[in-house]
Amino acid sequence: MSDNKKFFITTFGCQMNEHDSEIISGMLIEKGYELAKERKDANIVIFNTCSIRENADKRFFGTLGQLKKRKMAERENFTVCVCGCMMQQQHIIDTIKEKYPWVDVIFGTHNVHELPILLDNLYKEKHKQLSIWPEGAEIVEGLPTERLFKHKAFVNIMFGCNNFCTYCIVPYTRGRERSRKPEDIVREVKNLVKDGVKEVTLLGQNVNSYKGEHDNGELCDFADLIYLLNDIDGLERIRFMTSHPKDLSDKLIGAFKDCAKLCHYVHLPVQSGSSKVLKEMNRKYTREKYLDLVKKLREIDPEIAISTDIIVGFPGETEEEFEETLSLCKEVRYDSAFTFLYSIRKGTPAENFKDQINEDVKHNRFNRLVEVINDISQEKNKEYVGKTLKVLVEGPSKTNSKTFSGRTETFKLVNFKGDSSMTGEIVNVKITDCNTFSLEGQVV
């Protein structure tokens, strides 16, 4: 092993990537490496990449370009590793080899567990390491994790996606769906609880299609898994991310009533309010079906907060179809929404769709949508003023050590005056004011 033992990870993209980075940190710390505070202090830098939109690619290559000077100066005393979804695409690997030859280690989304070996090989053999497995890899259990938070944790329950939405690269980079065994998930969550964790977020590209197999061969669907986890003593909150509307079953909706630990919050990506665009996107539900799901969720759990993802400027989207998205947002009244400009992804069906939308039109629609979404978020936040809510305290703010923040069950960010003894605790906070993206309050 090299004497150069300080590493730093830069993570792009979703919670799955954030969690993979926690595992990478856990493995390297176990092997004696040390986590550096900043990239400049590290002699091993790792980039965990995202390929979901074009600007994520651009940001990654921009950052990689900046490292050339340092690599030229420090040579084998400075190691550059790249991993994540982008590495599952051959054209990206070709570009790295050709234009960024200072990269030392490339590994794929199915090879995260191999990094310590790849680093050992790099230092012993003194040549570059590449490890990309094709899809369908076995799930590797029991990897150590260096969590970002002490009291809340991400737990992978499944990997991959079978849905092939026509705009999306994920099924090509993360492979087919594979579910962990319920026993393995329960064991992990019990261990996390022993370690002080109060809240788990179950992760998967489409958690609703989780299909675990018990040790005795019986099947366990996503709702079954929630019921199992709800019974774990000491666990206080369960969240999940992301769910596909086509697979949101009545059984799962029922869990919002039955399972006290399941938070009153669901992220339910709609992508478009037009049934025609949804069909072109291969989403397998209509506007009406989606609105029906929202109605059912609110009937079962009137407190539930709902957020979503929306793409504007999908190929062929007309002004009228875009207005259907605006009207759907006004009808659902989302608590929040992630809004995206459609971006062409190489190798996806929509890359070849006719009528790609002009950038100016996309930006105009995007701005109009954000205005509608933000107005509704602000109005919804106003409804919380005067209420007292349970907040799981995350810690002090980066800019003011007396201001603390945390999340309500409905995933609202709340800022309040506090002290360090509150970190990791669930406290009652009376909401005194609100902004578009957060609430202000006082501990009571």
The footprint of ligand 5AD (CB under 6 A) covers 52-53, 167-168, 269, 271, 309, 311, 340, 342-343, 345
Q: How far is the CB of 284 from ligand 5AD (least distance, A)?
A: 14
Specify the amino acid at residue 404: F
127 SS3 class: coil
DSSP secondary structure string for all residues of 57-120: HHHHHHHHHHTHHHHHHHGGGSEEEEEEGGGGSHHHHHHHHHH-TT--EEE-TT-GGGHHHHHH
Smallest distance, ligand SF4 to C-beta of residue 194, A: 32
Q: State the binding partner of 206 from ligand SF4, ligand 5AD, none, CB within 5 to 8 A by kind.
A: ligand SF4
Cα gap 420→110, rounded to integer Å: 38
- Which contiguous run of DSSP H or E holds residue 40? none
Which does residue 343 touch among ligand 5AD, ligand SF4, none (CB within 5 to 8 A, set by kind)?
ligand 5AD
Q: In what order do the strands lie in the sheet with 336-341?
A: 265-267, 305-312, 336-341
Secondary structure (3-state) at 54 = helix
Span 223-252, contacts to ligand SF4 by CB under 6 A: 244
Binding flag, residue 338, ligand SF4 (CB under 6 A):
no
Report what 275 binds from ligand 5AD, ligand SF4, none; CB cut-off 5-8 Å by kind. none
The rounded distance, in Å, linking the Cα atoms of 16 and 48 is 11
| CB closer to ligand SF4, 23 vs 207 | 207
User: In terms of C-beta density within 10 A (0-12 exposed, 13-18 middle, 19 or more buried), how is residue 113 classed?
Assistant: middle
Nearer to ligand 5AD, 342 or 404 (CB): 342
Q: Which of 105, 49, 106, 42 is closest to 78 using CA atoms?
A: 42
| Nearest approach, Cβ of residue 306 and ligand 5AD (Å) | 14
In the bound state with ligand SF4, the residue whose beta carbon lies nearer, of 345 and 412, is: 345
Contact between 165 and ligand SF4 per CB under 6 A? yes
Give the nearest distance from C-beta 426 to ligand SF4 in angstroms: 31
Pick from ligand SF4, ligand 5AD, none: which does 244 bind, CB < 5 to 8 A by kind? ligand SF4
> Using the rule CB under 6 A, which residue among 170, 253, 328, 350 binds ligand SF4?
170
Which positions ≥6 away from 345 have C-beta within 8 Å? 51, 52, 53, 54, 167, 168, 169, 351
Q: Compute the least distance from the CB of residue 267 to ligand 5AD, in Å.
A: 9
Applying CB under 6 A, which part among 3-11, 118-126, 162-170, 208-216 lies near ligand SF4? 162-170
Is the distance from CB of 202 to CB of 238 less than 8 angstroms? Answer: yes
Cβ proximity to ligand SF4, 176 vs 363, nearer residue: 176
Residue 237 is classified by DSSP as E
Stretch of 106-114, 163-171, 225-233, 398-406 contacting ligand SF4, by CB under 6 A:
163-171
Instruction: For residue 242, give the nearest of 285, 296, 203 by alpha carbon.
Output: 203
CB-wise, 50 or 223, nearer to ligand 5AD? 50
Site residues (CB under 6 A) for ligand SF4, limited to 196-225: 205-206
CB of 12 to ligand SF4, least distance (A): 16
With CB under 5 to 8 Å by kind, the binding choice for 102 among ligand 5AD, ligand SF4, none is none
380 binds, among ligand SF4, ligand 5AD, none (CB under 5 to 8 A by kind): none
CA 218 to chain centroid, in Å, comes to 29
- Any contact of residue 304 with ligand SF4 (CB under 6 A)? no
Phi, psi dihedral angles at 66 (to 5 degrees): -65, -15
Select from ligand SF4, ligand 5AD, none the partner in contact with residue 345, using the beta carbon and a kind-dependent cut-off of 5 to 8 Å: ligand 5AD
For residue 267, the cross-strand partners are: 307
DSSP 411-443: --EEEEE--GGGTT-EEEEEEEEE-SS-EEEEE
Binding site for ligand SF4 (CB under 6 A): 161, 163-165, 168, 170-171, 205-206, 244
